[in-house]
């Protein structure tokens, strides 16, 4: 009976797909489609509720298999200055990008700006801007300039110190922690370090020495009109099996408003006395039946792995003796019945021991009984073998990934401390040849100019001297109007536009603009949107490298990239 139902379901799906294919052919032929749309309940392609960008004409076309945007050029127009000395607003996106990219001229200009300020008169806005840059993680390859600047300024205790404290979240532990352990480390800098490291996904191996005092001091000095980051800080502290983290969470719980207390209590994952244990248990007791809340478990390594709350790299850095137990727990989790959880745990397993993960993948693939259309046999437990497992099976060691990319002309580079590449796309990103982007920026205006600068970095040095900016629609026109995208190149200004998708990027326009600039310069580099996942992946490399990557099936373009 079950097999019969499965066959019926497949037949129905085939009929629907056939009708949809007919629908598309009719549309291309110009035939009316309203009756077919009504029959299949397909919404009309034009809806008054859709953002205007969805109805707008794309500036992008396809040329030689790549997205290329149409541009206009103005010659003789003044280029945007690149240093703050020539800017009326020194914190334009241009200068910020130069700092993030590690350009010496920008860091020299920052030094000059600080040196020229009267003693004790360093602009607070400047310090805030630096702090924002550090929290965004934009600085390339743990910018040597940023960490050198921070260490030099703090060791000399000179005018650079207020800014230097803000840069430490971006520096490796061996640079940041000794400086933050100093008795004169400001409470605000320590608090920011903990929050920013959590945001960047680069948690420190331990908390700064005065973290507890800094947090309690900040709690005591917070005014009602200044919201305290209870939720974010609780999430960060909850990862540390450190008495100071537990004491800080209890202190936060005591003064937090009602809406934040439950989250703080649940975050006390390592209670060490009756009070902290009672707070955690009471908070977990408020969780509705059937809810999945990561921190409410028995505290064992296996249960924390199964709840996806464990930072495995942080755990092993603190407790290397748990490695075998960790691998076993991840393997068990990866083989579970939850596809999403299984992929999550398998990725962590591959990060820690790729060859172990490859053996697990090989075993699961071999056991998978998939006799019909790749589906598991009726009555058998579904294998849920993910694409990730197939890829790790194909490349069972880090050396095999390195060799595959080297055969395409892409050489290895030293990994940054927070990088743990598993997929080929991860490895390309670690070599500054790819980025993965959440297409929803969550802000308006959507920062297309920042995306353009990130893409330009991937094709460095071809567009190194190009300055990007955007002119966004006014806030009163959030649902109408285009973005204007500009590239300043010497004595020329090149311009295109991006469609207005609300708080989503027009990724095609950004990629097409960069490719158009590369074409205009005769550069051999191009950028391509690849894969078919929820996130947007973009690979940028030379034409021969891209051709080799695609020929080796290491990256694939979306099936309908231009639709």
DSSP 3-state of 201: coil
Residue 316 sits in the same domain as residue 282: no
Domain membership of residue 415 (yes or no) is: no
Residue 61 sits in the same domain as residue 102: no
Residue 381 sits in the same domain as residue 432: no
Confidence of residue 50 (pLDDT cuts 50, 70, 90): very low
Confidence of residue 42 (pLDDT cuts 50, 70, 90): very low
pLDDT score at 88: 44
> Considering only CA atoms, which of 60, 138, 94 is closest in space to residue 507?
60
What whole-number distance in Å separates Cα of residue 221 and Cα of residue 191? 13
Whether residue 557 is predicted with pLDDT greater than 70 in this model: the reply is: no
Domain membership of residue 552 (yes or no) is: yes
Q: Looking at the chain, how many residues does it have?
A: 563
| Span of 322-326, 340-344, 501-505, 540-544 with lowest mean pLDDT | 340-344
Could you tell me if 322 and 301 are in contact, meaning their C-beta atoms sit under 8 angstroms apart? yes
Could you tell me if 447 and 470 are in contact, meaning their C-beta atoms sit under 8 angstroms apart? yes
Domain membership of residue 11 (yes or no) is: yes
Confidence of residue 233 (pLDDT cuts 50, 70, 90): very high
Compute CA distances 543 → 85, 344, 518, 519, 538, whole Å. 39, 33, 11, 11, 14
Percent of the chain's residues with pLDDT above 70: 72
DSSP 3-state of 525: strand
Residue 88 sits in the same domain as residue 123: no
Sheet with strand 483-489: strands edge to edge: 72-75, 492-498, 483-489, 467-471
Confidence of residue 300 (pLDDT cuts 50, 70, 90): confident
Could you tell me if 411 and 431 are in contact, meaning their C-beta atoms sit under 8 angstroms apart? yes
Domain membership of residue 141 (yes or no) is: yes
pLDDT score at 453: 84
Whether residue 253 is predicted with pLDDT greater than 70 in this model: the reply is: yes
483-489 vs 492-498, strand pairing mode: antiparallel
pLDDT score at 444: 77
Could you tell me if 425 and 541 are in contact, meaning their C-beta atoms sit under 8 angstroms apart? no
Kindly report, residue by residue over 112-159, the tens digit of the pLDDT.
777 776 766 666 667 777 777 666 666 655 457 788 888 888 888 888
Whether residue 7 is predicted with pLDDT greater than 80 in this model: the reply is: no
pLDDT score at 247: 95
- Going 219 to 221 to 227 to 232, the CA torsion angle's sign is negative
Residue 12 sits in the same domain as residue 137: no
What whole-number distance in Å separates Cα of residue 416 and Cα of residue 434? 15
Confidence of residue 183 (pLDDT cuts 50, 70, 90): very high
Run of H or E residues at 471 = strand 467-471
Q: Specify the CATH number for the domain of residue 200.
A: 1.25.10
Kindly report, residue by residue over 301-321, the tens digit of the pLDDT.
777 776 666 778 878 888 889
pLDDT score at 139: 63
Q: What are phi and psi of 518, to 5 degrees?
A: -65, -40
Residue 157 has, within 13 A of its CA and on its CB side, a CA count of 4
pLDDT score at 6: 47
Average pLDDT over residues 235-261: 90
* Residue 496, beta-bridge partner list: 485
Domain membership of residue 412 (yes or no) is: no
Confidence of residue 222 (pLDDT cuts 50, 70, 90): confident
Angle CA 273–275–276, to nearest 5: 70
What whole-number distance in Å separates Cα of residue 475 and Cα of residue 37? 35
Compute CA distances 179 → 141, 147, 166, 186, whole Å. 20, 11, 12, 11
pLDDT score at 26: 38
Residue 334 sits in the same domain as residue 457: no
* pLDDT top residue among 193 and 199: 193
Confidence of residue 38 (pLDDT cuts 50, 70, 90): very low
Average pLDDT over residues 2-26: 46
pLDDT score at 212: 94
Domain membership of residue 364 (yes or no) is: yes
Kindly report, residue by residue over 502-519, the tens digit of the pLDDT.
878 899 999 999 999 999
User: Please, what is the end-to-end C-alpha distance for the chain in angstroms?
Assistant: 41
What whole-number distance in Å separates Cα of residue 276 and Cα of residue 264? 11
Could you tell me if 182 and 168 are in contact, meaning their C-beta atoms sit under 8 angstroms apart? no
Kindly report, residue by residue over 355-395, the tens digit of the pLDDT.
998 888 887 776 654 544 555 544 444 455 678 888 888 88
Taking residue 121's Cβ as centre, other Cβ atoms within 10 Å add up to 8
Angle CA 293–298–301, to nearest 5: 95
Confidence of residue 274 (pLDDT cuts 50, 70, 90): very high
Confidence of residue 291 (pLDDT cuts 50, 70, 90): low
Residue 176 sits in the same domain as residue 104: yes
- Which DSSP symbol is given to 42? P
Residue 451 sits in the same domain as residue 503: yes
Kindly report, residue by residue over 477-494, the tens digit of the pLDDT.
666 678 899 888 877 889
The residue written with tokens 């190009």 in the block is 466
Q: Which residues of 434-446 are buried (b: 16+ CB within 10 A; e: fewer)?
A: bbebeeebeeebb
Whether residue 249 is predicted with pLDDT greater than 90 in this model: the reply is: yes
> Considering only CA atoms, which of 243, 241, 232, 155 is closest in space to residue 191?
232
Residue 283 sits in the same domain as residue 138: yes
Number of separate domains in the chain? 4
Among 304, 334, 352, the domain boundary falls at 304
Average pLDDT over residues 343-361: 88
Residue 343 sits in the same domain as residue 262: no
pLDDT score at 28: 35
Average pLDDT over residues 59-83: 75
The residue written with tokens 């598993």 in the block is 422
Whether residue 196 is predicted with pLDDT greater than 50 in this model: the reply is: yes
pLDDT score at 341: 76
Domain membership of residue 418 (yes or no) is: no
Which residue segment(s) compose the domain that 5 sits in? 1-45
Residue 144 sits in the same domain as residue 131: yes
DSSP 3-state of 523: coil
pLDDT score at 299: 67
> Considering only CA atoms, which of 456, 452, 402 is closest in space to residue 431?
402
Domain membership of residue 401 (yes or no) is: no
**Beta strand segments in 122-252, E:** none
pLDDT score at 21: 46
Residue 545 sits in the same domain as residue 556: yes
Could you tell me if 348 and 330 are in contact, meaning their C-beta atoms sit under 8 angstroms apart? yes
DSSP 3-state of 425: helix
Mean pLDDT for the chain overall: 76
Average pLDDT over residues 237-245: 89
């Amino acid at each position: 009976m079950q097999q019969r139902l499965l066959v019926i379901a497949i037949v129905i799906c085939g009929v629907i797909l056939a009708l949809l294919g007919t629908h598309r052919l009719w549309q291309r032929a110009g035939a009316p489609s309203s009756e077919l749309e009504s029959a299949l309940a397909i919404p009309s392609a034009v809806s008054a509720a859709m953002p205007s960008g969805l109805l707008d004409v794309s500036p992008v076309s396809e040329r030689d298999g790549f997205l290329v945007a149409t541009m206009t050029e103005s010659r003789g127009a003044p280029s945007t200055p690149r240093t703050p000395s020539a800017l009326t607003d020194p914190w334009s996106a241009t200068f910020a990008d130069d700092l993030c990219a590690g350009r010496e001229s920008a860091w020299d200009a920052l030094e000059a700006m600080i040196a020229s300020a009267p003693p004790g008169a360093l602009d607070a806005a400047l310090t805030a801007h630096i702090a924002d840059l550090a929290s965004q993680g934009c600085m390339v390859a743990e910018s040597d300039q940023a960490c050198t600047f921070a260490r030099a300024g703090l060791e000399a205790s000179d005018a650079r110190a207020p800014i230097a404290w803000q840069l430490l979240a971006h520096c490796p532990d061996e640079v940041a922690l000794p400086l933050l352990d100093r008795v004169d480390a400001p409470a605000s800098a320590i608090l920011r370090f903990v929050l920013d490291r959590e945001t960047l996904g680069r948690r420190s191996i331990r908390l700064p020495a005065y973290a507890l005092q800094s947090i309690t001091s900040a709690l005591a000095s917070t005014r009602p009109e200044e919201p305290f980051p209870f939720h974010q800080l609780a999430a960060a502290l909850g990862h540390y099996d450190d008495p100071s983290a537990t004491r800080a969470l209890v202190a936060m719980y005591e003064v937090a408003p009602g809406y934040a207390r439950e989250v703080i209590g649940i975050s006390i994952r390592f209670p060490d006395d009756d009070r902290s244990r009672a707070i955690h248990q009471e908070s977990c007791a408020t969780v509705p039946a059937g809810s999945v809340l990561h921190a409410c478990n028995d505290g064992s390594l296996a249960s924390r792995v199964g709840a996806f709350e464990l930072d495995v790299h942080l755990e092993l850095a603190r407790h290397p003796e748990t490695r075998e137990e960790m691998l076993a727990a991840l393997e068990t989790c990866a083989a579970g019945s939850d596809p999403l959880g299984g992929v999550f745990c398998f990725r962590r397993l591959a990060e820690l021991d790729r060859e172990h993960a490859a053996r697990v993948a090989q075993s699961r693939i071999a056991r998978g009984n998939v006799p019909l259309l790749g589906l598991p046999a009726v009555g058998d437990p579904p294998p849920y073998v993910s694409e990730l497992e197939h890829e790790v099976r194909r490349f069972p060691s880090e050396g095999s990934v390195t060799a595959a990319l080297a055969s395409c002309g892409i050489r290895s580079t030293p990994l940054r401390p927070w990088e743990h590449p598993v997929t080929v796309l991860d490895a390309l990103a670690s070599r500054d040849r790819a980025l993965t982007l959440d297409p929803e920026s969550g802000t308006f205006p959507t920062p297309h100019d920042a995306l353009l600068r990130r893409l330009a970095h991937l094709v460095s040095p071809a567009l190194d001297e190009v300055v990007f900016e955007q002119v966004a629609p006014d806030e009163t026109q959030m649902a109408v109007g285009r973005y204007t995208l500009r590239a300043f190149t010497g004595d020329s200004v090149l311009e295109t536009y991006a469609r207005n998708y609300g708080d989503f990027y027009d990724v095609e326009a950004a990629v097409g603009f960069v490719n158009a600039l590369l074409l205009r310069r005769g550069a051999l580099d191009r950028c391509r949107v690849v894969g078919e996942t929820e996130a947007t992946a973009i690979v940028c490399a030379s034409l021969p490298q891209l051709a080799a990557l695609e020929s080796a099936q290491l990256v694939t373009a979306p099936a309908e990239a231009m639709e």
